[in-house]
Structure 1
Amino acid sequence: MNNNSVAFIVAGRRHRRRRWILVTSLLTVLACALCCAMLLLGSTIYPVKDVIRTLAGEQIKGVSFAVNTIRLPRMLAGLFAGFAFGIAGNTFQTMLRNPLANPNVIGITAGSSAAAVFCIIVLHTSNAVVSIASVIAGLVTVTVIYLLSRAKPFSVGRLILVGIGMQAMLNAAISYLLLVGAQQDIPAAFRWLSGSLNGAQMNQLPPLIISVLICTPIIVLLGKHLSILELGEQSASSLGVNTDQTRLLLILSAVCMIAIATAATGPIAFVAFLSGPIAKRLVGTGFSNALPAGLVGANLVLAADLVGQFAFEVRFPVGIITGILGAPYLIFLLIRMNRKGQL
């Protein structure tokens, strides 16, 4: 390899690094701007100085309750849940080398949803119990999917098919529970299933925030191994990657965030599905797009919630807006994969 080739490769890598830094920085700035908008906007628009004084601990009549009790928990729930959905969805799509391999499609969020609906309709439990049950159910669901699809050699198609079957079974269980449930319990279950930031409370957010702060570094540190897994099972093994251990750590980290985020906000549609492809298009190749995908997810949820609150005469849950965005992309993706013979 001559000096010109080396210089060309080095220049290309520097360009990709600058692009990654620029895109990540812009996504961070956009997320901060949307967070500020979430705190400032509402039925009453408060001055910036009053919001800052309230966040600093000063009590201002009217402002303190609206900001600290309603808007701040809603903003934090959207920020961290969106980040969790984004980075976890990207992890599954990259690891399994398939854009359809996201937690919504392979049944993980359906497991959490089934447990939550059962607690709401049958057991009539508190929100705390609903959250705990949905987290446990999400972890159990992915364990069952992994065990049923685990064989040598590991097959992405097998895991996706098992996950789709699990999702169909769990969705059928949810439909049955909604059908036989008492009339007064149905609205609460539907609100949870639609994915919403309404009613977010500060005392419900620590598990979500802690899971994101713990699991994100694990996924980022395994980013190089995650990229190698894209090459396939045999190639990754020949390059010295312990594929089973790496895959298990990535799955556990991603599922933990997905389950806890679902417990906090409900299954916000298509955020995990959209974030990875958008981040990959913005960042390009050569560097891990885990962090950009998380930031894209956070921006999607925050922006969709603002649109749902203020763009229409009737206020819509955030999951309705993200569903409107994600459904056309899913149809486009299926058509494109069919044309390429990938379905």
Structure 2
Amino acid sequence: MAVIERDPAPPTSAAPGAHSVIVRARLLRRSRTVGVTLVLAAIAFALFVGTMMIGSFTVTPWQVVRATFGFESDGGINYVVRDLRLPTAATALAVGLAMGLSGIIFQRLLSNPLASPDFVGVSSGASFFAVGSIVMLNFQGELVSVAALVGALLAALLVYVLAWRDGITGYRFILIGIGVSQFFLAGSGYVLSRADVYNAREAMTWLVGAVGQAGDTELRVLLVSLAVVLPVVFVLSRQLSALELGDDTAKALGARVELMRVSLMLTAVVLIALATATAGPMAFVALIAGPIAARLVGSGSSALLAAAFVGAIIVLTADLVAQHALPSQLPTGVITGAIGAPYLIWLLVSVNREGRGG
């Protein structure tokens, strides 16, 4: 019987077509992330300049830029911009960047939108040590910031040790963090009850959070730390994406899970500790910056840098409102708290409805 040879079927174009669609979607997602991040950076820079323009003596944007970079010849403008307004504006920018970045690292690492330094004991640990140093030891200025930094690091270590059970899960970490946070808040309340009027007033101002209270040393330390930590975060961002897939998948991809988790968490804790030591526990900034950035850049994209700029925008805007939009000046933390409280209520309702709390 003769064997009839048939021509092989022509290669299908489905696979190359599907590949091109995936590549195109990836490029669009990356373009959106870059575009949104650049827009957020521009808004943050505009607010940074605007903070130094407004006051009893108005300065033009061009004068602000020239004075900031040392090109302004008018001594009065140099004094107003560089000596009076630049430290506050730089503090607001740096604190916002640090809190926004720290918050999104916590949320992605623990896979929970409630995983914020506000709730897991880090900020309250810093507050307890700072208030204790003011009331019990009569510390001032930089020493208070050092005490806050130590408190934040010790609180994070305590939560991590208590939450460890052959690994870390977001739900257990957050619950233990809330318990530790309440313990430190109760301690802060007790210390305040033992303080005299002057120390109590100073401690309460610090507890609310205000960018204008930072000293030159604290601001320099925060800026240098941001310059060092930001590249580290983006080097570890790929490992963060792997950890979000689960420990087993991350190990299969070659990630050293616990080492990466500890490194990322330590980075986030250092950022929030330094920011809190500089300006106090600015309420809700770390909680809301990440989700806003994630919505803007879209799902599946890295929102780390976008979250940092959103945090800076929130703090800069809150400081402008606190200083210039109200009948009397208020600490910056009062405005961030007023912004964040409704968001927290909405988040709790939506998380409970969608079953994402654990």
TM-score under structure 1 length normalisation: 0.96
d(CA) in 1 for partners of 2:84, 2:241: 40
Question: 1:54 offset after TM fit, Å?
Answer: 3.3
Task: State the distance in 2 between where 1:262 and 1:122 align.
Answer: 20
1:25 and 2:38 are equivalent in the alignment: yes
1:299 partner amino acid = I
Query: How big is each residue's C-alpha offset from its partner over 1:6-47, in whole Å with a ceiling of 9 and x where there is no partner?
Result: 111011001001101110110111111011101111121123
What is the CA–CA distance in structure 1 between the aligned matches of 2:222 and 2:167, rounded to whole Å? 35
Equivalent-residue separation in structure 1 for 2:328 and 2:47 (angstroms): 21
Q: CA deviation at 1:69?
A: 2.0
Equivalent residue in structure 2 for 1:308, among 315, 322, 342? 322
Report the CA distance shift for 1:335/1:91 in structure 2 as closer, same or farther (over 3 A).
same
Question: Post-superposition shift, 1:287?
Answer: 2.6
Q: Percent of aligned pairs with the same residue?
A: 38
Q: Distance in 1 between matches of 2:95 and 2:167?
A: 34
Shift of 1:92: 0.3
Where does 1:96-115 land on structure 2 (aligned, <5 Å)? 96-115=110-129
Contact 1:115 1:137 survives alignment (8 Å): yes
For residues 138 and 286 of structure 2, the distance between their equivalents in structure 1, rounded to whole angstroms, comes to 29
CA drift of 1:4 comes to: 1.3
Structure 2 residue ranges without an equivalent (≥5): 1-13
- Asked if 2 retains the 8 angstrom alpha-carbon contact of 1:70 and 1:200, the reply is no
- Match of 2:30, as an amino acid? R
Q: Is the 8 A contact 1:84 1:294 kept in 2?
A: yes
**Deviation, structure 1 residue 53:** 4.5
Q: Which has the larger radius of gyration?
A: 2
Secondary structure, counterpart of 2:187 in structure 1 = helix
Superposition TM-score, scaled by structure 2 size: 0.92
* Distance apart, 1:230 and its partner CA: 1.4
Q: Distance in 1 between matches of 2:241 and 2:65?
A: 42
Matches within 5 A, 1:118-157: 118-157=132-171
Return 263-272 or 311-320, whichever deviates more: 311-320
Further displaced range: 43-52 or 120-129: 43-52
Q: Distance in 2 between matches of 1:139 and 1:83?
A: 19
Map 1:287-302; keep pairs closer than 5 Å.
Answer: 287-302=301-316
Correspondence 1:265-284 to 2 at 5 A = 265-284=279-298
Q: Check whether the contact 2:49–2:64 (CA below 8 A) recurs between aligned residues.
A: no
Is residue 2:219 matched to residue 1:205? yes
How far 1:49 moved relative to its partner? 4.8
Q: Within 2, Cα distance between the matches of 1:93 and 1:9? A: 27
Amino acid at match of 1:214: V
Q: Which residues of structure 1 form unaligned runs of 5+?
A: none
In 2, are the aligned partners of 1:34 and 1:299 still within 8 Å (CA)? yes
Match of 2:251 in 1: 237
Give the Å deviation of 1:59: 6.4
- State how far apart, in whole Å, the 2-side matches of 1:16 and 1:178 are: 50
Contact 1:224/1:288, CA 8 A, preserved across alignment? no
The whole-number CA distance in structure 1 between the counterparts of 2:263 and 2:95 is 20
Bigger Cα displacement from structure 2, 62-71 vs 167-176: 62-71
